[in-house]
């Protein structure tokens, strides 16, 4: 079956899963050449196998709210591929979670994890539970109930979940406690745990910091650096605020952050004190808009951050947050680099606009791999029952991000179509990640 035929089959089978189909198409258009030149890939039906999850575990989660009412949510774990290691990937708690979203995230995770060079397969999970407006007790009861359903399908060498949207250190720690309680086993079954009982230093910062390290490598290719650059960040969560923090540390001026309600613009730029305030504010689910009473700036209700002139855009909120119109706005506002902190934040049309205008572009599966990479380091620390220092782990994170950058850049160069003015990181990352997973499947024969 050709790649096109596989896509057609998926479109027929899953017409109601647009995010998943979008993610598959994005990979397919970039791997066509290597796929056609390796007869094994066709013989072993590699693309068909990599686009159908090994299994999807789907379950009901009953929990009790503070008023004593029983609430019912849906939970999933998409175990996409363990070709390269135990299933690995985050859990998302957000009302928009469904099978399409989790399949797109799990599919991308296969290639992202492959790019880290660490032994991790691809998975994703979560629930349509909405943590907003819930008390700490409700969050705890939900996390306990969620893992009570999932615990028998995960394990330190089987499937190792972590955080994603709506799931951070607090939630992972509750889930870890329930797993430990049910199994009587203290193991590295989840990553992103609290530091002090198995969690790794720098895991919280790793995705945002890693994205900025990736950006530094891109800039270095063009003999440039972050000093004095103007940066637009979207989102105000874990990835956004740590990306902003690292960019500021490296001399950039960050002008915006945002959330689902609107955009906060500070023409003076954020500093560490302002970032710390934003972290506190978001941790309590309080409005970003309150910032202007304390620090000035402007709050743009219902708007996105791409209307400002800057050099670099870091979309770090959620999938498809940047459409073709937003991408054109970036181009018009002289953005030269777009680095995806979020997973698939650009629509396919937005990517086309960015690339047509020769904006340097790094896809999420390469640029935001720092989070899962440090999760991999947490797994190995848990296995040998030792902790590494912040400095040591930060160096490892930088090294992994440089390797991902260089692997993607060299694959891009090897398979470049013409004399492109920008490194094609999208093609390079997809090819480098795909080859690792695909070659393992060929070696395994018929089994996954
Ligand atoms: P958080 O829950 O910490 O923050 C999410 C942020 O994005 C919030 O500011 C939220 O605003 C905003 N957001 C979420 N959904 C929407 C929406 N539909 N429209 C506008 N804004 C929205 O999540 P993370 O920072 O962990 O994750 C952000 C992105 O990074 C996701 O794509 C995730 O998959 C990806 N990622 C995360 C990693 C990690 O280690 N955490 C690793 C790699 C990728 P509000 O508070 O108003 O909802
Ligand atoms: O999208 C991602 O890479 C994550 N949410 C992190 C996954 C992990 O296992 O640390």
How large a percentage of the chain has pLDDT more than 90?
97
The pair phi, psi for residue 310, each rounded to 5°, is -165, 180
Q: Alpha-carbon distance 131 to 295, whole Å?
A: 28
Write the CATH number of the domain with boundaries 3-185: 3.40.50.10860
CB 236 within 8 A of CB 278: yes
Strand partners for 59: 75
Q: Which of 154, 170, 163 is nearest to 121 (CA)?
A: 154
Instruction: List, in sequence order, every beta strand (DSSP E) within 340-392.
Output: 360-362
* Residue 252 neighbours by CB under 8 Å, 6+ apart: 226, 227, 228, 229, 230, 231, 312
Q: Where are the alpha helices (DSSP H) in 44-168?
A: 46-50, 99-116, 136-150
pLDDT interval class at 439 (50, 70, 90): very high
Q: What is the pLDDT of residue 209?
A: 99
pTM tops 0.95: yes
The ranges assigned to domains in the chain are 3-185, 205-358
pLDDT mean over 10-24: 98
**3-185 matches 205-358 in fold:** yes
Q: What is the pLDDT of residue 420?
A: 82
Q: Alpha-carbon distance 175 to 161, whole Å?
A: 10
Instruction: Give the burial class of 48: count Cβ atoms within 10 A of its Cβ; 0-12 exposed, 13-18 middle, 19 or more buried.
Output: middle
Whether 381 is in the pocket of ligand 1, judged by its Cβ within 6 Å, is no
CATH class, range 205-358: alpha beta
What value does the mean pLDDT of the chain take?
A: 97
Strand partners for 74: 60
The pair phi, psi for residue 243, each rounded to 5°, is -65, -45
Q: Which of 189, 240, 100 is nearest to 254 (CA)?
A: 240
SS3 of the chain: helix, strand, coil, percent, to 5: 50, 15, 30
pLDDT mean over 11-23: 98
pLDDT tens across 82-140, in order?
Answer: 999 999 999 999 999 999 999 999 999 999 999 999 999 999 999 999 999 999 999 99
166: left (phi over 0), alpha (psi -120 to 50) or beta: left
In the numeric block, which tokens belong to residue 443?
């070696």
Atom 17 of ligand 1: nearest residue by CA position: 260
Atom of ligand 2 nearest to the CA of 372: 10
How large a percentage of the chain has pLDDT more than 70?
100
Q: Where are the alpha helices (DSSP H) in 124-224?
A: 136-150, 169-183, 203-221
Atom 48 of ligand 1: nearest residue by CA position: 260
pLDDT tens across 146-205, in order?
Answer: 999 999 999 999 999 999 999 999 999 999 999 999 999 999 999 999 999 999 999 999
How far apart, in Å, do the first and last CA atoms of the chain sit?
Answer: 18
Asked whether the predicted pLDDT for residue 419 surpasses 80, the reply is: no
pLDDT interval class at 236 (50, 70, 90): very high
CB 252 within 8 A of CB 312: yes
The pair phi, psi for residue 406, each rounded to 5°, is -70, -40
Q: How far is the CA of 206 from the centre of ligand 2 (A)?
A: 10
Q: What is the pLDDT of residue 416?
A: 79
Whether 378 is in the pocket of ligand 2, judged by its Cβ within 6 Å, is no
**Rg of the chain on CA atoms, in Å:** 21
Q: Alpha-carbon distance 282 to 292, whole Å?
A: 15
Q: How far is the CA of 234 from the centre of ligand 1 (A)?
A: 9
Whether 204 is in the pocket of ligand 1, judged by its Cβ within 6 Å, is no
Q: How far is the CA of 278 from the centre of ligand 1 (A)?
A: 14
Q: How far is the CA of 355 from the centre of ligand 2 (A)?
A: 26
CB 211 within 8 A of CB 239: yes
Q: Alpha-carbon distance 282 to 287, whole Å?
A: 7
In the numeric block, which tokens belong to residue 186?
């203290």
Q: Alpha-carbon distance 26 to 5, whole Å?
A: 15
Q: Alpha-carbon distance 404 to 29, whole Å?
A: 20
Q: Which of 22, 128, 103 is nearest to 350 (CA)?
A: 22
Asked whether the predicted pLDDT for residue 281 surpasses 90, the reply is: yes
pLDDT mean over 289-306: 98
Q: 283 vs 205, 286, 386, CA distance in Å?
A: 15, 8, 29
Asked whether the predicted pLDDT for residue 352 surpasses 90, the reply is: yes
Can 398 be counted among the known catalytic residues? Answer: no
* Residue 294 neighbours by CB under 8 Å, 6+ apart: 277
Atom 3 of ligand 1: nearest residue by CA position: 237
* Residue 322 neighbours by CB under 8 Å, 6+ apart: 234, 304, 306, 315, 330, 345, 346, 347, 350
How many CB atoms within 10 Å of residue 152?
11
């Amino acid at each position: 079956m050709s790649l096109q035929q596989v896509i057609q089959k998926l479109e027929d089978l899953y017409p109601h899963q647009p995010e998943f189909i979008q993610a598959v198409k994005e990979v397919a258009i970039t791997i066509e050449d290597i796929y056609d030149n390796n007869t094994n890939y066709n013989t072993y039906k590699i693309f068909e196998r990599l686009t159908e999850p090994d299994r999807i575990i789907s379950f009901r989660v009953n929990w009790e709210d503070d008023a004593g009412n029983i609430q019912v949510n849906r939970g999933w774990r998409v175990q996409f591929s363990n070709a390269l290691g135990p299933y690995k990937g985050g859990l998302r708690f957000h009302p928009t979670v469904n099978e399409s979203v989790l399949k797109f995230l799990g599919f991308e995770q296969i290639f992202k994890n492959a790019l880290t060079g660490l032994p991790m397969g691809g998975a994703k999970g979560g629930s349509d539970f909405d943590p907003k407006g819930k008390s700490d007790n409700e969050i705890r009861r939900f996390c306990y109930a969620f893992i009570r359903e999932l615990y028998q399908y995960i394990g330190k060498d089987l499937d190792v979940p972590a955080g994603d949207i709506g799931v951070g250190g607090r939630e992972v720690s509750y889930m870890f406690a329930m797993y430990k309680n049910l199994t009587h086993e203290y193991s590295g079954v989840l990553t992103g745990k609290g530091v002090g009982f198995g969690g790794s230093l720098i895991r919280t910062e790793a995705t945002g910091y890693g994205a900025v390290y990736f950006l530094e490598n891109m800039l270095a290719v063009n003999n440039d650096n972050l000093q004095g650059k103007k940066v637009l960040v979207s989102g105000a969560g874990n990835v956004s605020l740590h990306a902003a923090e690292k960019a500021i540390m490296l001399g950039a001026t960050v002008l915006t952050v945002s959330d689902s309600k609107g955009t906060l613009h500070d023409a003076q730029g954020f500093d560490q004190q302002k970032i710390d305030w934003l972290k506190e504010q978001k941790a309590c689910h309080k409005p970003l808009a309150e910032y202007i009473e304390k620090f000035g700036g402007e709050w743009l209700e219902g708007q996105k951050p791409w209307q400002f002139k800057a050099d670099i855009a870091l979309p770090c909120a959620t999938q498809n947050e940047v459409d073709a119109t937003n991408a054109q706005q970036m181009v018009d506002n002289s953005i030269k680099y777009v680095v995806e902190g979020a997973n698939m934040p650009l629509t396919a049309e937005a990517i086309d606009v960015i690339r047509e205008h020769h904006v340097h572009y790094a896809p999420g599966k390469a640029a935001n791999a720092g989070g899962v990479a440090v999760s991999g380091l947490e797994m190995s620390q848990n296995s040998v029952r030792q902790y590494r220092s912040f400095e040591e782990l930060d160096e490892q994170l930088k090294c992994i991000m440089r390797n991902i950058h260089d692997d993607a850049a060299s694959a891009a160069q090897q398979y470049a179509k013409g004399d492109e003015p920008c490194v094609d990181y999208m093609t390079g990352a997809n090819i480098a990640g795909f080859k690792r997973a695909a070659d393992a499947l060929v070696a395994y024969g018929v089994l996954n």
